[in-house]
A and B are shown apart, each in its own frame.
Chain A
Amino acid sequence: MNSFLGPLDSQGRVPASQQTRVAAFLISAHSALARQLAIAVPLRLHAGWQTELHAQLYRETEIVSLLLRATSWVPDPAIPFLAISWETAWLPKPAMTGDGTEGLMIDMAALGHALHAAIRPAALLPLEAAADDPFVVALRRIEFESSRLMQAQIIFLKDPGLLPVRQDVNASVERRHAQVRELWTAMLEGIGVGCDQSGA
């Protein structure tokens, strides 16, 4: 199993079948986040930190739109079945705190953290990938933006106000990380890509 996407074609492009599967996964994940954010962002912002949520909502939408346009799509009969398991996984699972709303917010932040932190689509690209190919640029852009996007989750999840429930927060984030990694790894294995990108 390869550590990277490919083999690339003569112009350095990722095979369309791999583009389709990777893009389908990312669209499923980021559109789920966008849906959750659309509900979480109030019509009228009341606190400064909510501007971050607002920005995230549109960044997630941008990622979905970008992938829809940058991917060379081909028919993939497995996607409807895979999408069911992906979409089920993204459903809210409130953290085990006493407060239901707080638990939902923690879970939403945990899912966002996991999707932005644990998934590194650009690290799948071999060195020879065409630097100006739209799909290649899209993967690099998504990974680049992720480090900024997850700051809102980090600020929220590490907030001293959550100190009394830190163990629950940690457990929720670790659970979402494990879930996202498992689905991402399984999806990649389905297209012949191993998860060890270290080259070691």
Chain B
Amino acid sequence: MAYLSYGTHTIRYELSGPETGPAYVLVNGLTQYAELWEAYRDALVAKNFRVVTFDLLGQGESDKPSLFISQDDHVAVLRLLIDQLGDGPVFLAGISFGGIVALRYAIESGHRLAGLVAMSTFAELPPQLFLLGNVMRTGLILGGTSYLQDMLLPMNLSDAWLAPLLDKLESVKRQGWLVNDVYALQNLMESFLDFKPLTPRLHEIKIPTMILNGEFDFLTPRPLHDTLRSHIADSALVIVPRGYHAFTLEKSALTADLLVRFATDVMAKRWKGGGSVWIAPDEAGGEIEPFPEGYDHLRALPIRLAST
């Protein structure tokens, strides 16, 4: 475990894998901590990637500013981390809150990246997400971290994942509850109070971009990911079957495999984004299928696209 200085603050990070390999930097979601990427670290290191995981400012064992955290701070920390990685190819992947940080970094410093993976994330706050965010903030204030976790678990994970854990949910939640403080989570949430939509600047992202969206993600549903797809020229939207918002937790082997395949394709110059839409396999190593031609990927029903 290593520590990085950002102003008067300290950021905890971990660097794994061969020094000369291409790098993957993984950015946490709101209530995450670096250890939750362990399966990814192992899978990526096995494929000779260097892997950087870290706790965002305000999370886990990184410093937690008492009152104010700006989203600019997260981008600045990311810049410091990536600057340490030398000149080799760097792939950046972020989920949810971390996806926004990754998008912002790619807009401002895309030249430093070989590729971007945006997972369960968004560039705008439409009414449903805005109101859900408010509810989560109120839940955190009134019920603490544990209540927020109780809200997020059924919203973001499938019955199949939850069923065997129902009688031990407290132990599942405990580490996240221990390392996350209410005031710090509240500060992270309140960094959205002056959130400006990123959509007008998405076209500035010129690098290959893979957008991953769970089939059943209703916290950040498909239209939010489609905004990314339609504004980032060299992007492809890959739908993760039966995936919810936290599919990275539930389907780590599959997602890590998708990350490896994306980076490998980009480095071999095989990547073809072009705003295409795909369906990921159920299991790691399976075929990535194109979304059926002529059907609307924004609908849950098999609706044919209107002819133009």
- Residues of A whose CB lies within 8 Å of any CB of B are 113-114, 116-118, 120, 123, 127, 143-144, 146-148, 150-151, 154, 157-158, 166, 169-170, 173-174, 177, 197-200
Q: Does B162 sit within 8 A of A, measured CB to CB?
A: no
Of all chain B residues, the one with the shortest Cβ separation from A123 is B178
Residues on A with C-beta less than 8 A from B182 are 117, 146-147, 150
B178 near A197: Cβ-Cβ < 8 Å: yes
- Show the binding face of B for A, using Cβ within 8 Å: 1, 35, 60-61, 65-68, 140-144, 170-171, 174-175, 177-179, 181-183, 186, 190
Minimum-distance CB pairs A-B, first 9: A117-B183, A147-B182, A173-B66, A198-B179, A147-B144, A177-B66, A197-B178, A173-B67, A174-B66
Residue from A147, A166, A170, A198 in contact with B66 in the complex, judged by beta carbons closer than 8 Å: A170
Q: Cα distance A84–B135 when bound, in Å?
A: 43
Which chain A residues border B179 with CB–CB below 8 Å?
A: 198, 200
Let me know if A144 and B144 touch, CB within 8 A.
Answer: yes
**Nearest Cβ on chain A to B178's Cβ, whole angstroms:** 5
Which of B67, B140, B190 is the one whose CB lies under 8 Å from A169? B67
Residues of chain B within 8 A (CB-CB) of A120 are 181
B residues in contact with A157, CB < 8 Å? 67
Q: 10 additional contacts, CB 8 Å, given A146-B182, A147-B183, A169-B67?
A: A113-B67, A114-B66, A127-B170, A147-B140, A147-B142, A147-B143, A147-B182, A148-B141, A199-B175, A200-B179
Which residues from B are CB-within-8-Å of A147? 140-144, 182-183
Q: Given A117-B66, A154-B186, A158-B67, are A199 and B178 neighbors across the interface (CB < 8 Å)?
A: yes
Query: How far is B178's CA from A148's CA once the two chains are assembled, in angstroms?
Result: 18
A127 contacts B181, CB within 8 Å? Answer: no
When the two chains form the complex, which single residue of A127, A144, A150 contacts B183, counting CB atoms closer than 8 Å?
A: A150
Which residue in A116, A154, A200 is a CB contact (below 8 Å) of B35? Answer: A200
Known: A198-B60, A198-B179. A170 touches B140 (CB 8 A): no
Interface centre among A147, A157, A197 (most CB of B within 10 A): A147
In Å, the complex CA distance between A13 and B1 comes to 35
Q: When chains A and B are docked, how far (Å) is the Cα of A116 from the Cα of B177?
A: 16
Shortest Cβ distance from residue A12 to the other chain B in the assembled complex, whole angstroms: 15
Output the least CB separation between B297 and chain A (Å). 41
A118 CB contacts on chain B under 8 angstroms: 181
CB distance from A184 to the nearest CB of B (A): 13
Contacts A113-B183, A117-B182, A120-B181 given: A200-B61 contact, CB under 8 Å?
A: yes
A170 contact set on B, CB distance < 8 A: 66-68
B181→A198 contact, CB < 8 A: no
Please give, as numbers and ranges, the residues of chain A lying within 8 Å of B181 by CB-CB distance: 117-118, 120
A116 CB → nearest B CB, Å: 8
Q: How far is the CA of A147 from the CA of B35 in the complex (A)?
A: 26
Point out which of A116, A117, A148, A173 has the most chain B C-beta atoms below 10 A from its C-beta.
A117
Shortest distance from the beta carbon of A194 to any chain B beta carbon, whole Å: 13
**Shortest beta-carbon distance from A130 to chain B in Å:** 15
Complex CA distance for A169 and B174, rounded to whole angstroms: 33
Q: A173 — which chain B residues lie within 8 A by C-beta?
A: 66-67
Contact A143 B144 (CB under 8 A): yes
Residue among A146, A150, A154, A169 with most chain B CB within 10 A:
A154
**Which residues does chain A contribute within 8 Å of B186, judged by CB atoms?**
154
Q: List 5 A-B contacts (CB under 8 A).
A: A147-B183, A148-B142, A151-B141, A154-B67, A170-B68
| Distance between A77 CB and nearest chain B CB, rounded to angstroms | 32
Nearest to A147 among chain B residues (CB) is B182
Bound Cα distance A166, B183 (Å): 18
Chain B residues closer than 8 Å to A177, beta-carbon distance: 66
Given contacts A157-B67, A173-B66, A198-B60, contact A127 B178 (CB under 8 A): no
Tell me, rounded to whole Å, the shortest Cβ–Cβ distance linking A119 to chain B: 10
Residues in A whose Cβ lies below 8 Å from that of B141: 147-148, 151
In the complex, what distance in Å separates the CA atom of A146 from the CA atom of B144? Answer: 9
In the bound complex, how far is the Cα of B179 from the Cα of A113, in angstroms?
18
The 8 Å CB contact of A127, one of B61, B142, B174, B190, is: B174
- In the complex, the chain B residue whose C-beta lies closest to that of A174 is B66
Chain A min CB distance to B186 (Å): 7
- Contacts of B170 on A, CB cut-off 8 Å? 127
Residues in B with CB closer than 8 Å to A127 are 170-171, 174
Instruction: Report the minimal beta-carbon distance from B144 to chain A, rounded to whole angstroms.
Output: 5
Residues of A within 8 A of B175 (CB): 198-199
With contact pairs A147-B141, A148-B142, A198-B60 given, residues A113 and B66 touching in the complex (Cβ less than 8 Å): yes
A82, B13: Cα distance in complex, Å: 36
From residue B79, how far is it (CB to closest CB) to chain A in Å? 23
